[in-house]
Amino acid sequence: MHFSASCAVGIEKVVAGELERFGIEPGSRAAGRVGFETDSAGLAKVLVGLRTVDRGFLEAGVFPAKDFDELFEGFQAMPWERWVGPRDRLVIEKAKSLQSTLSAQSSIQAVGQKAAYDRLCAKYGVGRMPETAASVMTRVRIERDVATVELDLCGEALSRRGYRKRPTEAPLKESVAAAVLFLSGWRRSFPLYDPFCGSGTIPIEAALYAFDIAPGLGRGFSWEHMPDGGARDIALAKEQARNAVNLDRDVMIAGSDSDQAALDSALANAGLAGVGERIRFFRARAEEAAPFAERGFIIADPPYGKRLGTPEEADALYASLNAFADRFSRWELCFVVDREEFGGFAGDRAPAERVPGGRGPRREAKPSGGAWKKTKIVDGAETRWLHRAIARSAPSSR
In a domain, 316, yes or no: yes
Q: What is the CATH number of the domain that holds 54?
A: 3.30.2130.30
In a domain, 306, yes or no: yes
Same domain, 110 and 191: no
Same domain, 192 and 271: yes
Same domain, 120 and 254: no
pLDDT of amino acid 169: 66
Same domain, 192 and 318: yes
Beta carbons within 8 Å of 181's beta carbon, 6+ residues apart: 202, 205, 206, 209, 299, 358
Q: Look up the pTM and report it.
A: 0.89
> For the chain, what percent of residues have pLDDT higher than 70?
88
Identify residue 49 by its one-letter amino acid code.
Answer: G
Same domain, 141 and 178: no
Same domain, 101 and 192: no
What is the distance between the alpha carbons of residues 30 and 33, in angstroms, rounded to a whole number? 5
Same domain, 142 and 206: no
What is the distance between the alpha carbons of residues 46 and 37, in angstroms, rounded to a whole number? 11
The better pLDDT of the pair 136, 166 is held by 136
Identify residue 320 by its one-letter amino acid code.
Answer: S
| DSSP-derived 3-state class of residue 316 | helix
Tell me how crowded residue 167 is: count the other CB atoms within 10 A of its CB. Answer: 14
In a domain, 394, yes or no: no
349 and 328 Cβ atoms separated by less than 8 Å: no
3 and 55 Cβ atoms separated by less than 8 Å: no
What is the distance between the alpha carbons of residues 57 and 149, in angstroms, rounded to a whole number? 10
pLDDT of amino acid 121: 97
Same domain, 363 and 288: yes
Q: Select the highest-mean-pLDDT range: 74-83, 286-295, 353-362.
A: 74-83
Number of domains in the chain: 2
Host domain of residue 33 = 2-152
pLDDT in tens, 210-258: 999 999 999 999 999 999 999 999 999 999 999 999 999 999 999 999 9
pLDDT in tens, 92-108: 999 999 999 999 999 99
What is the distance between the alpha carbons of residues 112 and 140, in angstroms, rounded to a whole number? 9
What is the distance between the alpha carbons of residues 292 and 312, in angstroms, rounded to a whole number? 31
Sheet of 135-143, strand order? 26-30, 33-37, 2-6, 55-64, 146-152, 135-143, 89-98
Is pLDDT of 362 > 50?
A: no
In a domain, 378, yes or no: yes
What is the distance between the alpha carbons of residues 148 and 76, in angstroms, rounded to a whole number? 14
